[in-house]
Amino acid sequence: MSFLDTLRQWDEAVACVDKAHLSQALEILVSIEEPNSKIYFNIGCLHLINQELDAAEKAFDRSIGKDEHLAVAFFQRGITFYKKKRYEESFADFQHAFKELRGNQLIDYKALGLRHKLHACEVLHNMALSEAHLGHWEKAREHLVSALNYKTESKLNLIDRALQSTLKQKLFQPAVVSSTALFRPNKHYVAELEKRDYLGKAKVVSSIIPQDEFSGFAPLQPQVEDGPTGPKAPEVLRAFEGEPHIVLFEFVPETSGELAVVPGNIVFVLQKGADNWASVVFNGRRGLVPHNYLERMEINLTSKPNQDGNSQGNDVPDPPRREAPTRTESKPGIYTLNINSEDNTNSEAADGGEKSACIVKVHYTFNLALYIDCGSPYATLAEMISKKLLLPADKITLSSTSPAAGLTVMDASTDMQGIWSSANCGRITLWCDIKEEPLKDNNPGVHVIALYSYESTNLEDLTFNQGDTILLLTKVNQDWFEGQCNGETGIFPAAFVEVPVDAK
């Protein structure tokens, strides 16, 4: 199901709720093929209104599964557990909702499409109610006293009445979300669902022909005798942004920011960076292409004689060539690839003396491409790449495999014959990294204290809690450190810890 279909059904279901057609609204929401967290929340709320507690619990489970930080979904699932008299699970969900408030007095969900404010004092109120049902009256009073620190004027009476009830060890009513409080789709997106006629219908305002009823996008033109037989030249030639370049080699993108081109394409270069990558426009799309894959071309719009020998000033330019241009000559010292050759098994010409070259694409902080003679030793390869990066050769580490597949580090003992023989269509890909910078004085005994908790999102990250002591191992860069904590090793944000002054 497309996003537009989902949006249309979502909006239709909310409209049914506004008309009190709850069963029809629930039927529409359930029919959506790939509901998001907000739609699952709406389904759970409608089941909760119908007292279908098992179905409501299942819907809130899926809503939380889609968005584990949606505090109001934890709150509603806690209400569901409360109605099912599963008070321990109800308390756990209210506690999780309070945690997602992150110390704030309330969360206003209006910006997300839900007309409701979730107050921290209401969550603590329900936590106290769950404890009261479990017979933990003292803990219930503690939660209500904590709620006084988060109370607002509108919620003051609610907390006061609950405190009086706990003193008498009497139960009280839970704080609930309004039954009509549902997530609504973005109104700007909904407005775009309506079909609009931007063109309209043209009509004749004035015409030289009597009773002219022409309807279209151009007025009638009077016929002129002895008019031109050829096409009319445009008054203004379209101006393209950027400088025109022709593509010399096929480029296959490996990231979303790169652009696929083939030999013969004409692209317009907007900007060339110092890293050899050029930002270009091709077929209305922007992307990055190695600048050494391109060759600047000049567009000649001067007049040419026609078949009759007469000059056609400001004539329509000739259509572009259908065959991609080929480079017939190579400059001294520059190696070229014969991409159109039928036999690439031996790229060294027998009589021309042209050496076989390989395109090496290097993944770094940015990507770069360069030509290197096949069979070059590791030292030559590392030196050429380091010169491109403006770094010493001993400061970089080259790998023949990606980090996802496990880095295969290269050095002077690497079998370079195997590396060059693995080239595909005259291309190989390498990965480059800078050798990690040690901490000041290479002191392995520096410890830092975690200012905040950090939960890893990648395998290489380090998880720790606020207040944990972390042993610093290396300084990856100014934003990331590598350390060891609780028997685990990984990287973490430098801003999450406090580094001693003597170790900075």
The model's pLDDT over 24-78, given as tens digits with 9 standing for 90+, comes to 989 999 999 889 999 999 999 999 999 999 999 999 999 999 899 999 999 999 9
Residue-level pLDDT at 204: 55
pLDDT at 139 over 80: yes
Could you confirm whether domain 357-434 is CATH 3.40.50.10860?
Answer: no
Percentage helix, strand, coil for the chain under 3-state DSSP, each rounded to 5: 30, 20, 50
Q: What is the mean pLDDT of residues 83-96?
A: 93
User: What's the Rg (C-alpha) of the chain?
Assistant: 35
Q: What is the mean pLDDT of residues 340-344?
A: 37
Bigger pLDDT: 101 vs 203? 101
pLDDT, tens digit, for every residue of 205-227?
555 556 656 555 555 555 555 55
**369 vs 367: CA distance, rounded Å:** 7
Token pair listed for 195: 């079909």
Question: At 149, is the pLDDT very low, low, confident or very high (cuts 50, 70, 90)?
Answer: confident
User: Is the Cβ–Cβ distance between 464 and 454 less than 8 Å?
Assistant: yes
Cβ within 8 Å of residue 19, ≥6 positions away: none
From the list 482, 388, 101, the residue with the least C-alpha distance to 126 is 101
CATH homologous superfamily for the domain 3-187: Tetratricopeptide repeat domain (1.25.40.10)
Q: What is the mean pLDDT of residues 498-502?
A: 74
User: Is the Cβ–Cβ distance between 110 and 183 less than 8 Å?
Assistant: no
pLDDT, tens digit, for every residue of 422-473?
888 778 888 888 876 544 444 456 889 999 888 877 767 888 998 899 998 8
Question: At 150, is the pLDDT very low, low, confident or very high (cuts 50, 70, 90)?
Answer: confident
Range from 109-113, 226-230, 357-361 carrying the lowest mean pLDDT: 226-230
Token pair listed for 489: 């090793």
Q: What is the largest CA-CA distance in the chain?
A: 111
Other C-beta atoms lying within 10 Å of the C-beta of residue 44: 26
Q: What is the mean pLDDT of residues 224-253?
A: 65
Evaluate the CA torsion angle 379, 382, 388, 394 in order and state its sign.
negative
Shared fold status for 248-296 and 357-434? no
Question: At 231, is the pLDDT very low, low, confident or very high (cuts 50, 70, 90)?
Answer: low
Residue-level pLDDT at 3: 78
CATH class for the region spanning 440-503? mainly beta
Q: What is the mean pLDDT of residues 84-90?
A: 93
DSSP string for 137-166 = HHHHHHHHHHHHTT--GGGHHHHHHHHHHH
Residue-level pLDDT at 136: 92
SS3 130: helix
pLDDT, tens digit, for every residue of 289-337?
998 889 888 765 444 445 454 544 444 445 444 444 443 333 333 333 3
Q: Where are the domains of the chain?
A: 3-187, 248-296, 357-434, 440-503
pLDDT at 349 over 80: no
SS3 7: helix
The beta strand positions in 126-250, using DSSP E, are: 243-247
Residue-level pLDDT at 188: 79
pLDDT, tens digit, for every residue of 114-124?
888 899 999 99
Cβ within 8 Å of residue 241, ≥6 positions away: 268, 270, 281
Residue-level pLDDT at 500: 75
Residue with tokens 């709620």: 147
Q: Supply the mean pLDDT for the chain.
A: 78
Residue 37, exposed/middle/buried by CB under 10 A (0-12, 13-18, 19+)? middle
Question: At 338, is the pLDDT very low, low, confident or very high (cuts 50, 70, 90)?
Answer: very low
User: Is the Cβ–Cβ distance between 389 and 340 less than 8 Å?
Assistant: no
Residue-level pLDDT at 324: 41
Residue 323 gets which letter from DSSP? S
The H or E element spanning position 470 is strand 469-475
Residue with tokens 């799309």: 285
Name the β-bridge partners of 409.
399
Question: At 240, is the pLDDT very low, low, confident or very high (cuts 50, 70, 90)?
Answer: low
Where helices occur in 50-119 by DSSP H, the ranges are: 53-66, 71-83, 87-100
Residue-level pLDDT at 234: 45
Pick the CATH number of 248-296 from 2.30.30.40, 3.40.190.150, 1.50.40.10, 2.40.50.140: 2.30.30.40
| Percent of the chain with pLDDT strictly greater than 70 | 74
Range picked from 8-22, 85-99, 138-152, 279-293 for highest mean pLDDT: 85-99
